[in-house]
Chains A and B, each alone.
Chain A
Amino acid sequence: MAREGLIFYGSIAIFPLIVLLNLALPDAANRPDQPKEVFNGALLLFFTLLLIYVTYGYHFKKQPHVRVKTVVNVSLIFGVFLLLWLVLVGKLGYLRPHSFPSPNNVFQVFITDIDFLTYESSKASIIRAFTGYILALVLGIPLGVWGGSNLRAFSVSYPIAKVTAHIPPVVYLPYAIAVFPSINGAIVFMIFIGAFWPIVINTMFGVYNIDKRLIEFARILGADEKRILFKVVLPAAMPSILAGSLIGLVLSFVLLTAGEMVGAHTGLGFYLMYYFDVGYFDKVVAAILLISFWVFFWITFGFDIVQSKLLRWQRRIG
């Protein structure tokens, strides 16, 4: 449909429009002389990437229509948010300048603090999050499979897991810091614990609820226990395992930020908290944006892709 294409291209045109407004309108009196290069540059870069994606995906039909639509819609919402922020805060000067910096000032931080914020802090945070998360996957899935295939283990561990999963791992943190040799280890441990429970519970639940006939069917066909595990039990429980892994991933980021805000001396959460205490809100907002970006990035470009690969066999809904 040509009309749909017009809507797609029209939607992403919001980004150059924001850049034009940014250049054309004068800055608010209470936030004068905003450095505009980084914000404008980021928007134009984003626009270019989107343009390539839409052309490649929609025009040449290289991507599922639903996915292109989602990307365009998410971008449009993001664009509207930036537009409102720029115009209301940066150009019309609403809200207190101290706690509500204009997007121009915030984006500038990514460049002025490129080493400390954009690179070092991101790196420290991402390494922590994934060490804990991957550890949780590696231990949680086998344990969940065991618990789910054994009725007695299931009925004992399920209530324990349900209670333990609710206790906010953040409260272990002070104790973990005391017991662990390093703060880093304590935070990783906390992320591990936080991601571990949803993964275990969902794996257990998925395995426990498998249609038993599938296993009997495999047995009749002559499959041994190992083959049943890898070819029947794991794939059958996969939707549930993935659901748990997603919750675990989201929790990992929550706990990462929490741990860093409360205890660490490096990382994005620490950066955020440090500049909050000092009162530099452009840096606080920059950190918030960067954390959100990483979370969005890993979920959309990491998790979603793995998930659609692993669940190709499921009929797509809608």
Chain B
Amino acid sequence: MRAMKAVEVTGVKKLGNGKVVLENVDMEVNEGEFVSIVGPQACGKSTLLRLIAGLDQPDAGKIKILEEEVSKPHPKVGMIFQETLLFPWLKIIDNVTFGPISRGVEKVEAEREATKWLESFGLAKFADKWPYELSGGMQRRATIAMMMVNQPKVLLCDELLGGLDLITRNAIADEFLKLWHEKKPTVLYVTHLLEEAVYLSQRVYVMSAKPSKIYETFEIDLPEKRWEVPNLRFSEKCADYVNKVREAFVEAMKVA
């Protein structure tokens, strides 16, 4: 069976303030894949993600999600923005039910579903708290629950783990991988940390800054259940990939 294309980006160009932000970007992601996008600052990673999310329109080129052209946010797409975004004026449970209720699910039903997700992240006892009462890691988990409860087919993450300490970061990364393995959404993961990109994804796109486009692509061949391999992060194979990506990254910066 041919895998369905989850995300197709063809020849996308985007201008902003009269400058070229993205130039001729092509990208194809199959359903259920986990891919990362890395690149130097201001290379248009976030802009690309926003275009795929349907929050903005490209000036040229096409973007398709699940083989439908995008003009507004696609109901099967979830997106997690840079830094935590919970609605600070909603309690945790109300944050998680925000999506389902927006989509017309009954409140009781939505709360039952949300509670399940909160439990799976060990957040059940925080359901009735305000976001500011949670630690950064807890907030991040709540945000993931908030997205997952909508059962997205495509999940876009912009610096999902930014601003967290290393231990929390690695812990949530593993939780996130397990979650992906279980539910198999297509994940597009934007980060500036090369190690994280390699550790998490099946493919890594390296973008260059000027012009902003895909510079090189790396297939990462690591076991799927990475959390089961002890110290995979520090293995030679992993380090090899990181080095290759780093070389491309440095080259990509020189292009500018």
- Report how far A219 CA is from B85 CA in the complex, Å: 13
Residue of A nearest to B86 (CB): A217
Which residues from A are CB-within-8-Å of B85?
Answer: 213-214, 217
Whether A223 contacts B87 by the Cβ 8 Å rule is no
A315 interface contact, C-beta 8 A: yes
Q: Does B81 contact A (CB under 8 A)?
A: yes
Q: Which 8 A-B pairs have the closest CB atoms?
A: A235-B89, A221-B99, A223-B102, A222-B102, A313-B89, A222-B103, A315-B132, A220-B79
Q: How far is the CA of A227 from the CA of B130 in the complex (A)?
A: 20
Contacts of A213 in B (CB 8 A): 81, 85
Contact B55 A221 (CB under 8 A): no
B89 and A221 contacting across the interface, CB-CB below 8 Å: no
Q: Is B102 within 8 A of A221, CB to CB?
A: yes
B70-78, B174-182, B206-214, B248-256 - interface stretch: B70-78
The yes or no answer to A224 lying at the interface (CB within 8 A) is yes
Chain B residues with CB under 8 A of A109: none
State whether B98 touches A223 (Cβ < 8 A). yes
Given known contacts A216-B55, A235-B89, A236-B89, A221 and B132 CB-to-CB distance under 8 angstroms: no
Task: Let me know if B73 and A220 touch, CB within 8 A.
Answer: yes
Q: Closest CB-CB distance, B237 to chain A, in whole Å? A: 36
Known: A222-B102, A227-B102. A312 touches B130 (CB 8 A): yes
B132 touches A235 (CB 8 A): no
A254 an interface residue at 8 Å Cβ cutoff? no
Asked whether any CB of chain B lies closer than 8 Å to the CB of A238, the reply is yes
| Cβ < 8 Å to A, chain B residues 95-112 | 98-99, 102-103
Known: A217-B81, A218-B98, A220-B78. A235 touches B87 (CB 8 A): yes
State whether A220 touches B53 (Cβ < 8 A): yes
Q: How far is the CA of A116 from the CA of B99 in the complex (A)?
A: 57
Is B60 in the interface zone, CB < 8 Å from A?
no
Chain A hits for B73, CB < 8 A: 219-220, 222
Interface size of B in residues (CB-CB distance below 8 Å) = 24
**Chain B residues near A70 (CB-CB < 8 A):** none
Q: CB-nearest residue of chain B relative to A238?
A: B89
Interface string of A220-232 (1 = CB under 8 A from B): 1111100100011
Min CB distance A315 to B, Å, is 5
Query: CA of A314 to CA of B87 in the docked complex: distance in angstroms?
Result: 11
* Beta-carbon contact of A221 and B81 below 8 Å: no
Additional pairs, 11, CB under 8 Å, beyond known A217-B79, A222-B103: A216-B55, A218-B102, A220-B78, A221-B98, A221-B99, A221-B102, A221-B147, A221-B150, A231-B87, A235-B87, A235-B90
> Which residues of A approach B to under 8 Å, CB–CB?
213-214, 216-224, 227, 231-232, 235-236, 238, 312-315
Does A313 contact B55, Cβ atoms closer than 8 Å?
Answer: no
Pair B77/A221 contact, Cβ less than 8 Å: no
Assess whether B230 is interfacial by the CB under 8 Å rule: no
Q: Cβ of A238: which chain B residues have Cβ within 8 Å of it?
A: 89
Which residues of chain B have C-beta atoms less than 8 A from A235's C-beta?
87, 89-90
Measured CB to CB, the nearest residue on chain A to B98 is: A221
Contact check, A232 vs B87: say whether CB atoms are below 8 A apart: yes
Complex CA–CA separation, A312 to B132 (angstroms): 11
CA distance A236 to B89 in the complex (A): 8
User: Which chain A residues border B87 with CB–CB below 8 Å?
Assistant: 214, 218, 231-232, 235
> B43-95: which residues lie under 8 A (CB-CB) from chain A?
50, 53, 55, 73, 75, 77-79, 81, 85, 87-90
Q: Does B200 contact A (CB under 8 A)?
A: no
Supposing A219-B73, A220-B73, A222-B99 touch, asked if A314 and B90 sit within 8 A by C-beta, the answer is: no
Contacts of A223 in B (CB 8 A): 98, 102
13 residue pairs of the A-B complex, CB under 8 angstroms, read A216-B50, A219-B73, A220-B53, A220-B73, A220-B79, A221-B78, A222-B99, A223-B102, A224-B102, A231-B98, A235-B87, A238-B89, A314-B132
Task: Chain A residues near B90: list those with CB within 8 A.
Answer: 231, 235, 313
Asked whether any CB of chain A lies closer than 8 Å to the CB of B161, the reply is: no
* B83 and chain A: residue at smallest CB distance: A213
Query: Does B146 make an interface contact (CB < 8 A)?
Result: yes
Q: Which A residue sits closest to B95, measured CB to CB? A: A221
B130 contact set on A, CB distance < 8 A: 312-313
Residue of B nearest to A221 (CB): B99
Q: Which residue of A lies closest to B104 (CB)?
A: A222
**Given known contacts A224-B102, A231-B98, A313-B130, is B55 in contact with A219 (CB within 8 Å)?**
yes
Q: How far is the CB of B71 from chain A (nearest CB, A)?
A: 13
User: For A214, A217, A235, which residue has the most chain B Cβ atoms within 10 angstroms?
Assistant: A217
CB-based nearest B residue for A216:
B55
Most buried by B among A221, A223, A232, A313: A221
Q: Which residues on the B side are within 8 Å of A231 (C-beta)?
A: 87, 90, 98
In the complex, A224 Cα to B146 Cα: how many Å? 17
User: What CA separation (Å) do A223 and B101 show in the bound complex?
Assistant: 8
Inter-chain contact B77/A220, CB cutoff 8 Å? yes
Find the B residue at minimum CB distance from A311.
Answer: B89
Given contacts A231-B98, A313-B88, contact A222 B81 (CB under 8 A): no
Q: Which residues of B contact A227 (CB under 8 A)?
A: 102
**Residue of chain B at shortest CB distance from A219:** B73
List A contacts of B75 (CB < 8 A): 222
B83 CB to closest chain A CB (Å) equals 9
Question: Bound complex: CA of A223 vs CA of B73, how far in Å?
Answer: 11
